[in-house]
Amino acid sequence: MLSRVPRALNEHSAREDPVGQFLTWLADARTAGGAWADAMTVATATPGGRPSARAVLLRGVDERGFLFFTDYHSRKGRELTANARAALVFIWPELHRQVRVEGTVRRISAKESDDYFMSRPRGSRLAAVASRQGRAIASRELLERRVRQVSKRYRGQPIPRPPRWGGYRVAPTTIEFWQGRANRLHDRLGYLKLTDGSWRRQRLQP
């Protein structure tokens, strides 16, 4: 049983636009002080259906979709190249809330990736250049040596974005909002994107 009675989520109070509803909930999560309000699980799969999942940070959301950045040669990058669909999960325990997103995925433009890369702290940019995400390495010492080498190479200069690193945008086809309630009678609202670009909203059983 929940320690307190959360606010209700119903068809009359929820927004017709699920992205707007998500932004409202994200703002609530940030206000509630969740340390990782912008964290999300990204699930991908091979064409054969072998799934994998990991947590990353949301770096932007608007009517076009949900944005994150990674190494294109990482496991998720390779899987998205072969199977351009993903699922996202946000969970905010402080508010007894969860959001699930499913959709298609595309790389953003090189300029968008360049702009974001240049906004990152210099140390993060050095790490992105030095590290081959997800690949085996002999030791931590070797990784730190690579970072020092990259730092020396670009001393006094801007660090360019490596071509293998950039952003993906998940264009949602379904979004589900889950609000925990007492006695397992949780509120669930699902939004399905229709062919004309509008959204159909319906209540789901808990």
Tokens representing 25 are 């909930």
Assess contact for 117 and 125: CB atoms under 8 A.
yes
- 184 noted as active-site residue: yes
Per-residue pLDDT, 88: 98
Per the domain annotation, does 95 fall within a domain?
A: yes
Task: Classify residue 73: in a domain, yes or no.
Answer: yes
The contacts of residue 39 (CB under 8 Å, 6+ apart) are: 55, 56, 57, 58, 90
SS3 at position 147? helix
CATH code: domain of residue 84: 2.30.110.10
Q: State which H helix or E strand residue 18 sits in.
A: helix 18-31
As given in the structure block, the two tokens for residue 93 are 């325990």
Phi and psi at residue 64, in whole multiples of 5°? -80, -25
pLDDT lower than 50: segments of the chain: 1-3, 5
The predicted structure's pLDDT at residue 1 = 36
What is the residue type of 158? P
Query: Can you read off the two tokens belonging to residue 168?
Result: 């993906």
Q: What pLDDT does 6 receive?
A: 58
Domain for residue 140, yes or no?
no
Query: Which range marks the domain in which residue 184 is found?
Result: 18-121+163-204
Rounded (10°) CA dihedral 172, 176, 179, 182:
-160
Q: Flag whether 111 is in a domain.
A: yes
Q: Distance between CA atoms of 69 and 167, rounded to whole angstroms?
A: 4
Q: Which of 4, 140, 155, 184 is catalytic?
A: 184
In a domain, 107, yes or no: yes
- In this structure, the number of other CB atoms found within 10 A of the CB of residue 163 comes to 9
Half-sphere exposure at residue 115, Cβ-oriented, CA atoms within 13 angstroms? 6
d(CA 79, CA 21): 29
pTM of the model: 0.91
Ranges assigned E (strand) in 58-152: 60-62, 65-71, 85-92, 97-107
Q: What is the pLDDT of residue 2?
A: 41
Residue type, 80: L
Q: Look at residue 190 and tell me if it is in a domain.
A: yes
- Tell me, what's the pLDDT at 5? 47
Domain count, the chain: 1
Looking at the domain assignment, is residue 27 inside a domain?
Answer: yes
